[in-house]
Structure 1
Amino acid sequence: MSSGRRHGRRLSMPITPLRATAAISAIRGIPRRSGDALGEPVEGSVWCTRRSQVKISIDYSGRPPSVVYYPRSFLKFILLGFLLVSLPLLYALVELIVSLDRLGTQSQQAVLQAAQAGRASRQLYEQATTLERVVRQHLILDDPQLVEDYARLRQDFSQTSQQLQQLPLDRAQLAQLEKLADNESRLYALLKAPQRPAAASTALAQGYAQLSEGAQAMLAASNRLTEREIERLQQTAAEGRKTWAYLALAAGAIALALAILFAVLIARPIRQLDLAIRRMGTADFTHAIEVNGPQDMRYLGQRLDWLRTRLHELEAQQTRFLRHVSHELKTPLTAVREGAELLRDRVGGELSAQQQEIVRIVRENTLQLQKLIEDLLNYHQTRSIEPQTLGPVPLADVIRRVVREHKLAAFARMITFEANVKPAVVVGDADKIRAIVDNLLSNAIKYSPRSGMVAIDLFTEGGEAVLDVVDQGPGVHAEDRPRIFDSFYQGKSAPEGRIKGSGLGLAIAREYALAHGGRIELLGRADGKRGARFRVWLPLALAELPPAASTAARPTLQEEG
């Protein structure tokens, strides 16, 4: 037992321990329970303020509850969905822009460093060869001015070496550059010595030749560095393209998944509304309407449920009214008809010819009024047109029974039946299928002339049972064809009988045919003669009864008529 407060009052309700379910909704402080149609005691409580919006689902079936949080507005929910779907794509776009900018910066720096390294290495090589040339000239000419020139060139060589050291060279290049600088310093010290042995001149020449070769090796290393930078940029670009492709696929997949998720969440309340409307369209008012979604969609579902309740009440009132009216009309109508029958049988004495005509008119009008009341009740039943008792229905047997019921009316006007009936089994409500055949056959008899013939054909085609009812009456006028199946509509063709119809028979037949997944149409006669031809299509059962079970030991319609 649990309790709660609602608008300052304490609530408590019993609960059944097995498969109990409660859905308690409160919108703007007005509580609402759904699922009352189940008739099960439910336990639940909720504290609601004037501005609260609470939805609590209690499920004792053993499954974990599923909770979906919706925004207050359906428009906000759609905008939120668009935003969340676009976030992965926006992230991928921003990442692509940042990566391109980073790659561009790296490329610019790599090109600049490669150009500086190449230029400095070339200068270093040129300066080394110049130093070698000056030293060789000094060794040959022994000119002190050449030593001063060497000192100036040596400063340029040192500056170029320092520039190369500031560049991102590898360890081998830096070691080689330091070795060049040390060799140049050692050779310069030997060059400045005041007294040099003869072997020193040879060592100087060889040393500066090696210095030039080392500078040339540095130039080659710088070229290789440029090539490595180009390869590294190409590799970085390839890796970037692969990363961008993966990122695009991941962002697209996430966006697609979010789009599908939000499409399902958006479509859920719409499907619930559509299902509720279609149920109400088929006069099914027994299922409570509950819409899960944003507040405005839930409110719309509540209004639809209110409409369902009102329609259910109105239908019940209409049913009670029709039953009451039919009962109140049948009682005096039966008395009038019985009185007319007694007068016609001369129970009260002999009648004159004029009195007999009056009695006949009274009797025929009471019969017409009784048929009209019955048609009204039958038409009201078509408001709940879903078949109630489903089962296999041998259509040939139904036709045979209906023919027997109309045999007396047909015999009175010398109308015969010509039938070509093949076995066909459909699934449906036997009473409603019988009403279809009965309305078509009574309509054919009503409009057939004296000594006329009504043709009945039953065959199967394309998984359907096809029933044709053809008469020799005046047919249906062209202007009556579009409305021949409308309720209470009576065409221009006058019936041959004295009792006028109510205009509901064909409408009831059409509603019942549609309820069984079939259809009914007015067709022209195949032979082009005068008369009307109505055709009904009904789906066949998956497994038909054996032909022997529906045809053995039964007389034909020709024999019955």
Structure 2
Amino acid sequence: MKAGTPLVELEDESAPVSKGLLRHNPKSFLKLILIGFVLVALPLIIALINSALSIDKLAEQSRKAVYQAAQIAHGSRVLLDEISTMERSVRQTLILGDASLLEGYFQAHAKFASTAMSLSALSLRPDQKQVLDRLTASESAIFQQVSSARRSSQGLQEIVSDFVPLLDTARAFSSSGYALIEREVTAMQDMAWHARSIVVWQLLALVPFAILLALGFSVLIARPIRQIDAAIRTMGEGELTKAVSVEGPQDLRYLGQRLDWMRRRLLEVEEQKTRFLRHVSHELKTPLTAMREGADLLVEGVAGELSVKQRQIANILYTNSIQLQKRIEDLLNYSALQNGQNGLVKCPAALKKIVEDVLQDQKLAIMNKNLQVELTCSDLTVECDQQKIGIIVDNLVSNAVKFSPPGGHIKINVRRVRESVWLEVADSGPGVEEADHARVFEPFYQGRKAPDMHVQGTGLGLSIAREYARAHGGEIELLKQAGAGARFRLLLPICNSEDAHV
């Protein structure tokens, strides 16, 4: 498959899905953030505008109420003053007998009439309107009498007494004006309290709503990012079989599709690498077997007696051919693991015999380095695949032999702990650096303290051993220990009836 081909396939396959998702998601991540910000801020903006309108309405009503109350109070005060002026002018005319003094009365009457007309134009209550009409009618009647008696002061005596009820009516109207001011002030206080209550209730309702909206959009924004992060982490851990799916804005979904394309490409490369290892391993195994058998025949003297140096060379060829065959078998086992072709064939097996057989196979390497092996193992029977447990133990022991210095020692301890078997292998080598602890079981990882050998390892032994252990329902751990050396522990259930597959 060409590198550019999946692009077309990806767009063609995801086109129907994209059309469906676009109905519910914005096209870009930025648009989603902007929509979220607007929707979160909108309730608060509405509450603010509503509060401003309420306050403005309250201020307008208060202004009108105060203005009208002030007009009524001022007008009633003017009416009282003008009535007093008219009464005084009539009395002065009556006392002095000078009709020209009534000019003050007529001026006061004109001002009274103008003020009364202005008051009647205001929005008075019905009772105030009645008092003002009665006051105007009474004053008009007095004005008619004064106009008739202006040429003769004799009729003014009776008119003076009419000003008393007129003044009382004007005072009643003035009192109602002040009472109106008090009522308007009370009404404004009630309106202010009501407006404040509305604002408080709006805040109590809209602030939690805005917080819920913010949380909802946080989830919507964070979800595709978490999905992308999880997909990258999964691919980084080598899990390439799970498809990458990202929900959200179109640009983030497109990024998820590109990640899935990269996953498929990595899966292809991984499959190509596995096929290459399998084919090369098979191709190498046949000629290597012939080389090993030929070296073995030379060592045994089948082709003629060898000199000491020739025998040493033949031994070197034979030993290294065995090492190469083990590396090739590791590659084949790893290839089988990658292709899921490693079913277990379980049967009861004596764990002590498995360990002793491994030590027998490693006898030559142990003797060459003059290593001391201390084996502590009770008779334990485990239900397992004997061949694969042998591979696990062989990898652990060969690692211990490889890393132990000449004249060093290896401790193998096998014991039962509750319903499990613990097999520990400890060497006296340089140990595993702290930085390598997390990667020591990774395929092809050699570590920082790999020994110098004619045939380097593949870095697959511990990875294969861990996979076989997990297939049995167990585990392999690298234990921390004081001093030199490395210590590995294999945990196996004594009896496990489940058919496990790698």
Q: TM-score with structure 1 length normalisation? A: 0.67
Mapped partners of 2:155, 2:398: distance in 1: 142
Q: How does 1:141-160 map to 2 (within 5 A)?
A: 143-160=98-115
Distance in 1 separating the partners of 2:155 and 2:416: 128
SS of the equivalent of 1:415 reads: strand
Over 3 Å counting, the alpha-carbon distance change for 1:240 and 1:477 in structure 2 is closer
Task: State the 1:157 CA deviation.
Answer: 1.4
1:323: how far off?
0.5
1:491 aligns with 2:449: yes
2:178 aligned with 1:223: yes
Q: How far 1:235 sits from its partner (Å)?
A: 2.0
> 1:273–1:501: structure 2 CA closer, same or farther, 3 Å change rule?
closer
Q: After the TM superposition, which of the residue ranges 284-293 and 110-119 deviates more from structure 2?
A: 284-293
2 CA distance for matches of 1:450 and 1:347?
34
Report the AA paired with residue 285 of structure 2.
Answer: K
- Name the CA shift for 1:140/1:329 in 2 (closer, same or farther; >3 Å): same
Residue 532 (1) aligns with residue 486 (2): yes
Aligned to 2:369: none
Q: Which moved more, 1:317-326 or 1:128-137?
A: 128-137
* Residue number in structure 2 paired with 1:3: none
Could you say which residue in structure 2 is the equivalent of 1:209? 164
Question: Which residue of structure 1 lines up, in the alignment, with residue 287 of structure 2?
Answer: 332
Shift of 1:150: 1.8
Q: Tell me, which stretches of 5 or more residues in structure 1 are unaligned?
A: 1-26, 35-45, 47-52, 58-65, 423-428, 551-561
TM-aligned CA deviation for residue 364 of structure 1: 0.5
Correspondence 1:93 to 2:54 = no
Would you say the 8 A contact 2:146–2:159 is kept in 1?
Answer: no
State the 1:368 CA deviation.
1.0
- Contact 2:431–2:486 (8 Å) recurs in 1: yes
1:128 to 59, 80, 83: 83
- In structure 2, stretches of 5+ residues that fail to align are 1-6, 367-371, 497-502
SS in 2 for 1:416: strand
Measured after TM superposition, the shift of residue 402 of structure 1 is 6.2
Aligned-residue sequence identity (percent) comes to 41
2:12 is the alignment partner of 1:32: yes
Cα 1:123–1:534 change in 2 (3 A) is farther
Q: Tell me the residue number matched to 1:161.
A: 116
Q: Which amino acid aligns with 1:303?
A: R
Which SS does the other structure have where 2:124 is aligned? coil
Alignment-derived partner of residue 406 in structure 1 = 358
1:236 Cα deviation (Å)? 2.0
Secondary structure of 2:238 counterpart: coil
Contact 1:121–1:219 (Cα < 8 Å) also in 2: yes
Change (3 A) 1:511 1:219: farther
Q: Equivalent residue for 1:259?
A: 214
Q: Secondary structure at the match of 2:12?
A: strand
1:368 and 1:500 in contact (8 A); partners too: no
Q: Which residue is equivalent to 1:361?
A: 316
User: 1:444·1:470 contact (CA, 8 Å) conserved in 2?
Assistant: yes
Alignment of 1:381-420 (within 5 A): 403=355, 406-408=358-360, 413=366, 415-418=373-376
Q: Which residue of 1 aligns with 2:399?
A: 443
Q: Give distance in 2, aligned partners of 1:301 and 1:33.
A: 14
Q: Determine if contact 1:132/1:212 at 8 Å carries over to the other structure.
A: no
> One-letter code of the match for 2:13?
R
Distance change >3 Å, CA 399–CA 115, structure 1 → 2: farther
Q: CA deviation at 1:290?
A: 4.5
Alpha-carbon separation, structure 1, partners of 2:82 and 2:350: 119
For 2:81 and 2:30, how far apart are their aligned partners in 1?
75
Residue number in structure 2 paired with 1:182? 137
Residue number in structure 2 paired with 1:108: 63
Q: What one-letter code is carried by the residue in structure 1 that aligns with 2:358?
A: H
- Give the counterpart letter for 1:406 in structure 2: V
More helix, by proportion = 2
Q: Distance in 1 between matches of 2:323 and 2:9?
A: 58
Secondary structure of the equivalent of 2:431? coil
C-alpha separation in 2, matches of 1:132 and 1:459: 127
CA displacement at 1:507 relative to structure 2: 6.1
Once structures 1 and 2 are overlaid, which stretch shifts more, 372-381 or 148-157?
Answer: 372-381
Given that 2:391 and 2:465 are in contact with CA atoms closer than 8 Å, whether structure 1 keeps it comes out as yes
Structure 2 counterpart of 1:417, which letter?
L
Pairwise CA RMSD: 5.0
Q: Note the alpha carbon deviations across 1:312-366, whole angstroms, 9 max, x for none.
A: 2211111111110010011111222233334444444544433432321111101
Gap change, CA 1:338 and 1:470, over 3 Å in 2: closer
Match in the other structure for 1:173: 128
Contact between 2:402 and 2:451, CA under 8 Å: does it hold in 1?
no
Q: 1:476 to 1:161 in 2, by over 3 A?
A: same
